[in-house]
Structure 1
Amino acid sequence: MRQASNTDTCWAVVTGASSGLGLAFARLLAQRGYALLLMARREAPMHALAGSIRAVHPGLQVRVHAQDLSRPGAASELMTAMTALGITPTVLINNAGRGLAGPLLEQSAAALRAMIELNVLSLMELSQEAGRLMARQGEGYILQVASMASLGPTPGLAAYGASKAFVRSFGEALHAELAPAVRVTTLIPGLMDTGFGDAAGGYEAPRWARATVITPEAAAEIGLTALFAGRSSVVSGRLNRLMAWLSPFTSRAGQARMLARDMRR
């Protein structure tokens, strides 16, 4: 298990740190000795998380920064805020994301733009700016959080799945491009009990997919272990890994038709 240096303050930045997978990443990185910058839109849950982490790890630096990464230019604003705080990240967890469920024709154009800004553009810009700092200091770790929806077409989650397909391709490309100084790993989690369905507009996973659910803590541990081991990507959960392995053996058109039938039920 990779530990932060005992002599220097090593900072880990976790986006989307107000709930779900972000909480798990923050707690696990604190266990590894990393000072934390927690970033999300909602400030109160992050202060609660920061307090609980400080109680378990006295002396560990934990800072909170409330910001909406779905706004254009937000990634640069976050990097400016980090500079003002004297923080140079050693670890960046690009966990912030948003889902939109339902027929595309019924979705708001503004909501779609905000989701793409958050899931794609802010993630790309944060990776670029943090990656430059990490390359200069000769060490860095970036974890991109994709989704099982990145593995193929996803009717009912069409734009969300496409945004996560970008994250997967982008992260796997950076794994090779930024090596060896900066390690980039893409985590492909499946269903978790994080409230995603409600936040995505009442999305309900197909019955067959519910057997794949794992805890956010388990998914976060899988992601961090792969990151510090230098892996390109990792799928969380045995059933999810099996589904990902089987995916290339079925046609993308067939996958889309199956999910479209589930959506219409």
Structure 2
Amino acid sequence: MQHTADTGTKLSVVGNAAPGKRALITGASSGLGVEFAELLAAQKVNLVLAARRREPMEKLAAELRRKHGVDIVIEPIDLAAPGAAARLKSSLDERSIQIDVLVNNAGYGLHGAFLETPIERTTDMIQLNITAVTELSYAFGRDMAARGSGQILLLASLLGLQPVPTFAAYAATKSYVLAFGEALHDELRPNGVVVTSLCPGHTETGFDAAAGAPVSLMLRLLTMKPRPVAESGLRALSRGKASVVAGFMNKVVAFSNRLTPRSMQRAIMKGVVDA
């Protein structure tokens, strides 16, 4: 059973002026990063692809150049490393590459008991999911605000809407991203910058394998393909929304949180992710 986003409206990410604009996509070597790249390239948006692994980005870039004739820059970088965001910004500045759309997609999760997970792994995740996202939003958001235009898409998560035992730190990082993004939406709107936070539910990417997480029957029933998730985020960005939950059933889950106490939310989520 697959839940998809409404694709009845033609996707328009950066409007009529899309050709010639440039988007920076982090985590662009796999999963949702690839989907964002394909959707934006189809609108003639030039790209900067940033991730740790060069080879899959080179392969993706070659395909998108051939299909859409866009200019693509490859930036192999580990954004979990301290100072990586500043180095990426400096690298692009040195080549006078202006970023019109920032897709803050890089991130990963950790599943398991907090005290049984090496703290180094948890802090590395926090560095990528929170610190790098914050630094990139600051560095490129300042340029956008100065120009009076720009778009920033942040990848939050359905898990960021409530505490989740065995995903404690990961869910907390995504709660930060959602709150941070919604606040920036209001702060930067007077400067002509749109900030949108996308909350995917369980999606067919490499997330589970990287997190070491089981996939329960309930999660399998709620699983979405990555393309409609990416479309949902870019559509919300183009419409100037503060946030969006991808998929009808995920919207139902998000709404139900308003009606249940947090103790019940924790119990439900533990059953969903670990059943």
Asked whether the two chains share a fold, i.e. TM above 0.5, the reply is yes
Structure 2 match to 1:101 = 111
Cα distance, 1:24–1:262 mapped onto 2, change above 3 Å = closer
Q: 2:67 aligns with which of 41, 45, 56?
A: 56
Identity of aligned residues (%): 42
Aligned-residue CA RMSD (Å): 1.4
Equivalent residues, number? 262
Tell whether the 8 Å contact from 1:15 to 1:93 is kept in structure 2 after alignment: yes
Report deviation, 1:221: 0.5
The answer to whether residue 18 in structure 2 is matched with residue 12 in structure 1 is no
Give the Cα separation in 2 of the matches to 1:263 and 1:66: 33
Q: 2:262 aligns with which of 234, 249, 252?
A: 252
Structure 1 match to 2:219 = 209
Unmatched tracts of structure 1, length 5 or more: none
Q: TM-score when scaled to structure 2? A: 0.92
Q: TM-score when scaled to structure 1? A: 0.95
1:11-160 matches, within 5 Å, as: 11-58=22-69, 60-160=70-170
Tell whether the 8 Å contact from 2:216 to 2:274 is kept in structure 1 after alignment: no
Q: Which has the higher contact order (CA 8 A, sep 6+)?
A: 2
Show CA shifts across 1:193-233 (max 9, x none). Answer: 101010012x0233223211111110001100100110000
Counterpart of 1:64 in 2: which secondary structure?
strand
Counterpart of 2:100 in 1: which secondary structure?
strand
Counterpart of 2:189 in 1: which secondary structure?
coil
Structure 2 match to 1:242 = 252
Unmatched tracts of structure 2, length 5 or more: 1-11
Tell whether the 8 Å contact from 1:4 to 1:34 is kept in structure 2 after alignment: no
Tell whether the 8 Å contact from 1:188 to 1:236 is kept in structure 2 after alignment: yes
Deviates more, 1:19-28 or 1:205-214: 205-214
Give the Cα separation in 2 of the matches to 1:52 and 1:232: 32
Cα distance, 1:261–1:236 mapped onto 2, change above 3 Å = closer
Provide runs of 4+ in structure 1 moved above 6 Å. Answer: none
Structure 2 match to 1:165 = 175
Give the Cα separation in 1 of the matches to 2:248 and 2:269: 21
Q: Aligned partner of 1:48: which letter?
A: K
